[in-house]
């Protein structure tokens, strides 16, 4: 489970970011971004479409929601976001929290409906008010970036904390970012590291990557290249491009490992960034001198 980028809003704290979808920390060169991330990943329905249609015909809100998922994912029917939005709307009006959240993501992304951040916030808030963990996270993201609402870090922190209280792993990644940046809280790299660890232990690749960066930089945790390598590899093995690219840098520079150009090129190739080997060699040296919050 990884967050989906809705759109680029801006970089946080005036930092220049080069990654395109990591929630918190980015690459070793010190870049870091904050984008609007929503958990908008739809799963396939849990029953055949024919069965769902029969149940939906009787007004079953769960079946209505599942039918929407069928159209959103193209499971058993041709993918049709407009039809997905229709069925989510019907289910949401009947009080289905999953449908309210999913309709909010379609409004935020402009899938099947006109893009409307305010309407997205309305649906996220409706589901969040009943404790829906994904909606709590999504609402926090809207406040963090001022999308559909006035930017309010305190509100973002509040909704992320509520989501984290329900063991929602992505919320810990978001909170880790906020504590690393001191957004509506005192900067606390140790707490950020702990929050990333909680999510990393749940297999969230972005958290694994961010935790690796902290180990390499010695921010919030003692500098430990072996731990950094372990978490970086976990993220890379999940297909995270930034982690694959940085593993290439690690092997090229021999940071805590034997220099291995073949291994470096293998990871660069996986990330599709072989051109990194042609970049400024001084970039590698900044691995050990920058903190993970960014800055040249």
SS3 37: strand
Which of 159, 187, 217 represents a domain boundary (last residue)? Answer: 159
Same domain, 153 and 221: no
Q: 65 and 155 share a domain?
A: yes
Q: Is the domain of 67 the same as that of 22?
A: no
Whether 62 maps to a domain, the answer reads yes
pLDDT of residue 31: 29
CA distances from 7 to 3, 103, 154, 207 (A): 12, 17, 22, 20
For residue 25, the model assigns a pLDDT of: 33
60 and 13, same structural domain? no
How many independent structural domains does the chain possess?
2
Q: What is the pLDDT of residue 36?
A: 62
pLDDT less than 70: residues of the chain? 1-37, 40-41, 273-296
**Residue 28 confidence (pLDDT):** 37
Domain that holds residue 93: 49-159
pTM equals 0.79
CATH number at 13 reads 1.25.40.10
Last residue of a domain, one of 111, 130, 159: 159
pLDDT in tens, 4-35: 433 322 223 222 222 222 333 333 333 233 45
Residues 200 and 224 in one domain: yes
pLDDT at residue 43, rounded to an integer: 85
Please tell me whether residues 141 and 275 are part of one structural domain: no
Q: Which of 111, 137, 159 is the last residue of a domain?
A: 159
Residues 218 and 262 both lie in one domain: yes
Assigned domain for 134 exists = yes
Give the number of residues written for the chain. 296
- Residue 46's pLDDT is 87
């Amino acid at each position: 489970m990884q967050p989906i980028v809705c759109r680029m809003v801006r970089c946080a704290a005036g930092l220049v970011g080069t990654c395109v979808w990591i929630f918190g920390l980015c690459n070793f060169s010190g870049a870091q971004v904050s984008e609007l991330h929503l958990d908008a990943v739809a799963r396939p329905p849990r029953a055949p479409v024919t069965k769902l249609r029969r149940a939906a015909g009787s007004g079953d809100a769960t079946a209505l929601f599942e039918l929407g998922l069928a159209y959103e994912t193209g499971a058993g029917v041709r993918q049709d976001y407009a039809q997905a939005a229709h069925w989510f709307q019907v289910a949401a009006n009947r009080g289905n929290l999953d449908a309210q959240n999913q309709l909010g993501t379609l409004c935020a992304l402009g899938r099947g409906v006109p893009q409307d951040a305010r309407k997205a916030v309305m649906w996220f808030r409706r589901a969040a008010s009943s404790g829906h963990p994904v909606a709590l996270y999504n609402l926090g993201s809207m406040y963090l970036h001022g999308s559909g609402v006035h930017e309010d870090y305190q509100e973002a922190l509040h909704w992320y904390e509520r989501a984290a209280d329900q063991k929602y792993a992505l919320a810990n990644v978001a909170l880790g970012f906020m504590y690393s940046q001191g957004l509506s809280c005192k900067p606390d790299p140790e707490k950020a590291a702990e929050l990333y660890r909680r999510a990393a232990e749940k297999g969230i690749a972005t958290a694994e990557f961010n935790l690796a960066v902290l180990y390499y930089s010695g921010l919030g945790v003692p500098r430990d290249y072996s731990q950094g390598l372990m978490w970086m590899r976990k993220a890379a093995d999940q297909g995270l491009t930034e982690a694959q690219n940085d593993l290439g840098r690690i092997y090229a520079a021999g940071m805590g490992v034997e220099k291995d150009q073949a291994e470096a090129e293998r990871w660069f190739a996986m990330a599709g960034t072989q051109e990194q080997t042609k970049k400024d060699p001084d970039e590698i040296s900044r691995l050990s001198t920058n903190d993970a919050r960014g800055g040249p």
